[in-house]
Chain A
Amino acid sequence: MTVPLFGELIPAGFPSPASDYEEGELDFNTLLIKRRAATYCIKVSGESMTGAGILSGDILVVDRSIQAADGDIVVAALDGEFTVKRLRLRRGCVVLRPENPAYRDIVIGDDQDFLVFGVVTGVVRTLRGGKA
C-alpha cells in the first residue's frame, strides 16, 4: 500500500483547501527536451561560441530530429571531430561561424567530412554545487 503524502489523512487539523488543485512540480525536462528519443547532451570545450552565450564547460541540449536551417547553432561532425558553431547557408556554400572575433569562419570544402549531428536547442550551466 502507498500512503498519500498530503491532505486528508492528517488525523488532526484541517484538510488543505488546495489539495484538489495539486499539480506536479516544475520539471526541467519538459522545458529542455521536446523529443527525448532524439535528444543528446554534449559538453562544450573551448571559447569559440562565447558571443552566443555558450561557455566552455556548458552542456548543450542537442535535438537530432530538427532539420538544421540557416542561422541555427548546430553540433557538426567535421573531419572526425564534433564542433559547435552557427550554421550559415549561402549560395550553395556551407559556413560554420564561431561567435567569437578571435576565431575564423570555417567554409566547408567538398573534400571535407562534414555532417550536422543535431541542432542545439538549449544550454545548461550549473554554478555552485551543480553535478555536471
Chain B
Amino acid sequence: MIGLMDCNSFYASCEQVFRPDLSGVPVVVLSNNDGCIVAMNAAAKALGIRRGTPFFQARSLLASSHAAVFSSNYALYQSMSNRVMDVVRETFPMVEIYSIDEAFIPLPYAVSDLLSLARCTKSRVEQCTGIPVSLGFGRTKTLAKIANRWAKKRFPREGCFVLQEDREEVVLRSVPVADIWGVGTRKARVLIAHGITTAWDLRNASEYWVKKRLSLVTLKTLWELRGKPSIADELVPPPRKGILSSQSFSRAVTESRELEEAVASYAERAAAKLHAQGSTAAWVSVFITTSRFAGEQRYGAGASRRLDPPADYLPDITNAALGALGEIWRPGFRYAKAGVFLFGIDTSESRQPSLFTVPDPRKAAITRAAGLIREKYGHRGLRCLHAGGHRTWSMRQEHLSPRYTTSWADIPQAR
C-alpha cells in the first residue's frame, strides 16, 4: 500500500491559522504579482470563484462578499509545509515529499488498521499545525491519488479513505479519465473518443493500443490502475538539470540599470539554489521580453555565456549574466519580464577537474564566508552590488500577510 497526504486549500489554510477572525470568511490567495487567484478556501469556492481567475475580474465580487485577499507568502507556506511533513513523519517515517502540500507515504510493511492510523495522523497534523489534510491509500501511487480524491469527495468530514483491492472496481468506475493523475486534457480527449471514459475503462484497455496510440507514460498509468507500481519512488529529488529564476516585473522597466538590477538578483537566487544542491553550472543564460499585451512594440531575446571552468561562484555567475544581458538589451522597449537560467549542471561527486585551469581557492573561501553571513543576517544580509538597488520593479505584493513563523517582527500577538 502507498498513501497520498495532501493539505486542503493549503495556502488559504496557512493564512487562516493565524487569523481566527477569518473563520467562515471567503479567503483567496493571489499568484506572483497579485495576478490570478491560485488558492481559495471553501467559502470562496462557494462564491463560484475558480482557480486561475484573474484578480481584477473577481475584485468586485470579493469586495462585496467581504473576502480576505492575500498575496502569496511563500516564507509562511514553506514553514507550515515543513511542519505538516514533520508531523506526518512521526507516524510514517518514509515520507516522499511531492510538492509543497502533497506527500506520498510508502508502506513497505503491512499495517493492520490503516484507516484508524490515517485518521489519527490527520487529527494529529490538524492539532499541531491547524492545517486540514486528506489521506488516501491504494496499491499504487495512481490509486492512492484516486483514494485521496475519493476521501475528499465522499467523506469530507473524515478526510481519509483506504482503497482496498475488492473496492477498486466500484471506485474506478466513477472516476472520469480526465481526473486520473497523469492524464491531461489532451490525452483524456483521445481516450474518450475511443470510448474510454472512466478509470475502470482505462484499466481494462489494451496495453498495445494504449502504448501505440498514446505513450509509455499512459501505459504506466494503466499498469498502476491494475495495481502494479510503475511510477518510481523518489525519496531524494533528482538534481535539477537546469535552474531557472525569473519573474514578471510589477511595472514596465525601460532603464538598463533597472534591468541589470533584476538580472543580478535573479542570478543571485539561481546561484543560491545551485549552491544548495552542491553543484556547478557550465552555462548562464539570460532572457528578456516585453509585454505580450497592450499592443506595445514587442521584443524578446536571449543570450548565453559559458563559465569555464564550471562554477558556483556568485560573482562569476553575475558577471556572465550581466555580460549576456549587455548583448541583448535594446533601448526604447518596455520590458515586462527577465530571467536567468543556469544549465550544464554538474553535481559535486561527478565533477571533473579541469586539466588546464587551477581553481582559485579564494573563491571557495568567499562562497563559504558569504553563506555564513547569510545564515546569520538573512538573504538580504549580503548581496552583489548590482542587485542592491531600490527594486521598484520587484514583485507586487500588496496583500502580503506577516511571516508569522519565520520573522520575530511578524509573530502573532495575544492580549
Contact = CB atoms under 8 A, between A and B. Distances in A.
A102 B86 CA distance: 42
Nearest to B414: A82
B132 to A, nearest CB: 14
Tell me whether chain B's interface is mostly helix, strand or loop, or mixed. Answer: helix
Interface string A77-105: 11011111000000000000000000000
A52 interface: no
Interface string A30-49: 00000111101111111010
Interface string B14-26: 0000001111000
A78 B20 CA distance: 8
A12 interface: no
Contacts of B84: 37
A8 B330 CA distance: 60
B128 interface: yes
A82 B20 contact: yes
B414 A84 contact: yes
Chain B contact-residue range equals 20 to 34
A113 B20 contact: yes
Interface string B74-98: 0000000011101100000000000
B413 interface: yes
B157 interface: no
B412 A42 contact: yes
Contacts of B23: 80, 113
Contacts of A65: 124, 127-128
Contacts of B83: 36-38
A37 B87 contact: yes
B129 A37 contact: yes
Contacts of A48: 415
Contacts of B124: 65
B319 interface: no
Chain A contact-residue range equals 20 to 34
A128 B86 CA distance: 35
A82 B412 CA distance: 8
Contacts, number: 74
Contacts of B405: 40-41
A42 B20 contact: no
B128 A45 contact: no
Contacts of B404: 40
A113 B87 CA distance: 27
Contact of B413 (A43, A78, A117): A43
B412 A77 contact: no
A27 B87 CA distance: 23
A42 B404 CA distance: 9
A111 B207 CA distance: 60
A19 to B, nearest CB: 24
A93 to B, nearest CB: 21
Interface in B371-415: 404-405, 408, 411-415
Interface of A: 35-38, 40-46, 48, 59-60, 64-65, 75, 77-78, 80-84, 113, 115, 117, 131-132
Given A80-B22, A83-B415, 11 more contacts: A38-B129, A40-B411, A42-B413, A44-B413, A44-B415, A60-B414, A65-B124, A65-B127, A80-B20, A82-B20, A113-B23
27 contacts: A36-B86, A37-B82, A37-B84, A38-B87, A40-B405, A41-B405, A42-B412, A42-B414, A44-B413, A44-B415, A45-B413, A45-B414, A46-B415, A64-B129, A65-B124, A65-B127, A65-B128, A80-B20, A80-B21, A80-B22, A81-B415, A82-B413, A83-B415, A84-B415, A113-B20, A115-B20, A117-B130
Interface of B: 20-23, 82-84, 86-87, 124, 127-130, 404-405, 408, 411-415
